[in-house]
Amino acid sequence: MKFHKEGYTSLALVILFIFVINAIANYFDANTYITWAVYILSAFLFITIVQFFRSPKKLITLDDGIVLSPADGKVVVIEETDETEYFQDKRLQVSIFMSPVNVHVNRNPVSGIVSYFKYHPGKFLVAWHPKSSTENERTTVVVKKKDGIEVLFRQIAGALARRIVWYVEEGQEVKQGEEFGFIKFGSRVDLFLPIGTKIEVNINDAVVGGKTVIARF
């Protein structure tokens, strides 16, 4: 288990905050109970940040015939829908909600070439809101596999997520299971797959990024 690079600033701020409140508590407070309450709060904050930005090492088994989960979380949507940004036609949508306790590393579901990328500033509706996919801050990535099939996946900010990070650009070759981004504090990732793709998960299933098979071509 390692600490993700996106958490360095947050960890430094939390450590500074812990140092300040503990110094104040020790200097002004003669009440041992309040001092211990500050210690407990400090430990809670530190553990929360460390667990949120944890980045477990994963051995990825590449398979061009499957779609791997792009994130850890819970499947909240499986439906046929109109994808209006890129494909302009009907697709199978699979959405994964990432709670604050999940690993927030985002991974490429397939290997191929990034044929489209766009960042959209937007709102911060709760991640499970139906309009979050089209109105929230988000990125859209399309990867074309070597067989010509394109898979669209979208990072969506939630009510708490105020920063989406991405590591891909158009024309870049990406590998299945490798990191393509990170979202801070509660969010969602949508997948848009060709109609007829065999979905291997169900609503409310817990999935693991880079491990769980979401679908097969």
Strand-by-strand arrangement of the 164-166 sheet? 105-107, 179-183, 164-166
The CA dihedral of 151, 84, 188, 94, to the nearest 10 degrees, is: -50
| Whole-angstrom distance, CA of residue 27 vs CA of residue 45 | 21
DSSP conformational letter for 212: S
Annotated active-site positions, please? 187
3-state helix, strand, coil in the chain (%, to 5): 25, 40, 40
| Whole-angstrom distance, CA of residue 28 vs CA of residue 10 | 27
